[in-house]
Amino acid sequence: MAVFAQVGRILFLAAVIFGSPAQANAHPSEPFPAPQVAAGERPDDEAAAVPSRNELENSTLPRVTSLKPSRNDHGQEQTTIALEPFGRQLMVASPNEVSAKWAELQSRILLEERILAACRFDDGTCPAAARQFLYIVELGRQRQGRARLGEINRAVNLSIKPASDWAQYGVADFWSAPLATLSVGAGDCEDYAIVKYVALRESGIVPDDLRLVIVYDIKRETDHAVVAVRLDQEWLILDNRTLIMVNAEEAGHYHPLIVLDQRGVGAFATVAFLR
């Protein structure tokens, strides 16, 4: 996850150098058919099977670490006024390599959504990963409010075992689409977050209430990915390290860096993550 947060630091440094904007202030009804893991904290670097060459064909996606700040880019930045997770203001950057990578992931998610649509009409030819994803979505749809979020958080956490991108793909940073992650049953923190993000949307959570957030974990001194969901004006954090959901503003060990959502990519206007 260290690669993910580079853009957050770069956008902040660009803002400092060229003039920054002002800062603003669970349990399924039946056992889930997935690998069982502990509900507590877990490392993100357990080994997993290395995929075939065909599975690596997308490993040439743009690298976040290659981004550089630009005076021209800074002139196109703007500051949002809506309150975001962690109670911080957000800088929405002009199009860059990270937003292109996020958009490319959305295109793969769209292809998987077509598979899901076909599965709803003909379950007999539905891939196992798609059936598992639809089962997770249905668990959520059977609940309301906080219970829906808890069902999906738990189901995804129990469906994937931790594995680094190096172990799986031989690269430092790869963003896997939900069905691809579930088909191998392994992934790192952003893979968990991507599955949850899409499953929550499919279960009925409106996109405006969903964020995939890259944070810096000051306890572990590492970058991490979580999902933030707005429920009754409260942002709740869904984390692969625990089944417990907490208010984002109470997660003091997390400093937010980057937001990914239906609008694109944004960076939090904060210096707290610099180290």
89, part of any domain: yes
275, part of any domain: no
The larger pLDDT score, comparing residue 115 to residue 61, is at: 115
Mean pLDDT of 180-190: 97
Q: Which of 116-125, 191-200, 239-248 has the lowest mean pLDDT?
A: 116-125
| Cα Rg, the chain, nearest whole Å | 18
274, part of any domain: no
Q: Provide the residue range defining the domain that includes 104.
A: 2-268
183, part of any domain: yes
Mean pLDDT of 113-119: 95
pLDDT of residue 93: 63
Domain count, the chain: 1
273, part of any domain: no
189, part of any domain: yes
The CATH number of the domain holding residue 63 is: 3.10.620.30
Q: Which of 27-41, 95-109, 124-138 has the lowest mean pLDDT?
A: 27-41
Q: Which of 15-19, 57-61, 66-70 has the lowest mean pLDDT?
A: 66-70
